[in-house]
Amino acid sequence: MSNTLRIVYHYALARGLRKWKTRALLGRWQERQIIRQVERVREKSPFYREWWGDVDASNWRSFPLIDKTVMMQHFDRLNTVGISKDEAMALAGESEETRDFKPSVQGVTVGLSSGTSGNRGLFLVSDREQDAWTGTVLAKLLPGGLWKPAKIAFFLRANSNLYESVQRGKLQFQYFDLLERVDTLVERMETYRPTVWVAPPSMLRMLADAYTSGTLTAVPDKIISVAEVLDPLDRKVLEHVFGQTVHQVYQCTEGFLGATCRFGTLHLNEDIVHIEKEFIDPATRRFVPVITDFSRTSQPIIRYRLNDILTEAAVPCACGSPFTAIERIEGRCDDTLYFPHRLTGEAVPVFPDFVTRAVIAASPEIKHYRVVQRGNGTLEISLRLGGGEGMQQVEAEVQRELMKLGARLECSVPEIRFVPYTFEPGITKLRRVERQHT
């Protein structure tokens, strides 16, 4: 099959060539795909063969979990295309240095995740997998379908052959390097006038500022947030400035895991991955996803535990999709803060979403914020205001909202220190709520 035909085939599959009327039918179909995938992987990956022992493929749910640490540790024997970690790292590192993201090894694209947690992940994608990814992404994200002209602006810290592969026929694609100066990027946007923007929320906020100030006049048909958690504050500002729904993609080193439907609801891509929900707080529907990809074979992902907290939607989406609807991607498990319980002093987990809502509720003047919990428990809070109320007044309100949160959770709020807001997009991902160990 030629590469264009393969893309169109996967586009058609993701656009509804395959349809499941119920979750039960979807589940049965996924089960068959996973068993077939396990058998293929067992044959080709020495790591998985040993990792699973003699457990039968139909009992795949009892396989031990893996995570990024395990995957990177056993990279050479886990992948099925014979590429070593050193070789892949060298190529990915060179691409980052030269900003030339074209080279591949034995026809396999090598990419490097941005590694918010400090340990960066490698991903391998074969030509066949690249075509499948392209077809699926276009089906789920393009506003007018494959046959209508579109100009895509892709803002990322590192480009990849994977992203370039989106350029097909009437689709134009330009990569915008987040490490470039913002005014240079805005000038290019004015010339290119893209109809689809794909960028991290921190960059979208800068484009919104440029639009408000008049230096950027182009407005897209669709805005897609990627790479960072879409914070409720950022969503609200962007939707107000551009007068449209902000869509989301849930994509990481481990695959294309979710995308929004026409209603703007994020759905898990359960037509290409199976996701087990490891509930951490069933009452609030928060879970950690454990993913099994039944389509990738170069770097198989089977029962891989992510480090993210997702909140399942309380009701099904009006679009009628059987795929799990997600209310919010909350951030990383590592960014759950801890406050001491008032009576016992034991550490109580405070989810990032609780902190976000408390800060946003304090004042409509808050345009940007960050809350960082240091190793000693202290909260460092930085705010950027839009004018109106004075900083002292807003800081007092933030403190008051956090005290209310503490009372609700029966916790003492740690010491709070207010520091200047200094985040600049580009080099690192924006984490509005973060826990640091120092």
Considering the domain architecture, whether residues 291 and 426 belong to the same structural domain is answered as no
CATH code assigned at 298: 3.40.50.12780
Considering the domain architecture, whether residues 238 and 349 belong to the same structural domain is answered as no
Considering the domain architecture, whether residues 427 and 322 belong to the same structural domain is answered as no
The average pLDDT across 420-437 equals 84
Considering the domain architecture, whether residues 247 and 128 belong to the same structural domain is answered as yes
More confident residue, 365 or 145: 365
In 136-263, beta strands by DSSP E: 150-156, 171-177, 196-199, 222-225, 246-252, 255-260
**Per-residue confidence band for 166, with pLDDT thresholds at 50, 70 and 90:** low
The average pLDDT across 173-179 equals 82
Q: Is the pLDDT of residue 402 over 50?
A: yes
pLDDT of residue 164: 52
Cβ neighbours of residue 375 closer than 8 Å, sequence gap 6 or more = 436, 437, 438
Which domain-ending residue is among 268, 303, 333?
A: 333
**Per-residue confidence band for 117, with pLDDT thresholds at 50, 70 and 90:** very low
Considering the domain architecture, whether residues 305 and 363 belong to the same structural domain is answered as no
Considering the domain architecture, whether residues 115 and 236 belong to the same structural domain is answered as yes
- What is the span of the domain harbouring residue 317? 3-333
The average pLDDT across 288-310 equals 94
Tally of domains in the chain: 2
Q: Is the pLDDT of residue 1 over 60?
A: no
CATH code assigned at 405: 3.30.70.2210
Please name which of 434, 77, 415 lies closest in space to residue 228, comparing C-alpha atoms. Answer: 434
Residue pLDDT, tens place only, 46-81: 999 999 999 999 999 999 999 999 999 999 999 999
Q: How many CB atoms lie within 10 A of CB 243?
A: 8
More confident residue, 255 or 206: 206
Considering the domain architecture, whether residues 147 and 42 belong to the same structural domain is answered as yes
- Copy the structure tokens of residue 386: 């839009």
Q: Which of 16-20, 103-107, 205-209, 393-397 has the lowest mean pLDDT?
A: 103-107
Considering the domain architecture, whether residues 186 and 46 belong to the same structural domain is answered as yes
Cβ neighbours of residue 75 closer than 8 Å, sequence gap 6 or more = 84, 85, 88, 122
Considering the domain architecture, whether residues 36 and 48 belong to the same structural domain is answered as yes
Considering the domain architecture, whether residues 57 and 41 belong to the same structural domain is answered as yes
158 to each of 211, 392, 404, 432, 434, how far by Cα in Å? 25, 39, 41, 22, 23
Q: Is the pLDDT of residue 257 over 90?
A: yes
**Per-residue confidence band for 334, with pLDDT thresholds at 50, 70 and 90:** confident
What share of the chain has pLDDT > 70, as a percent?
Answer: 92
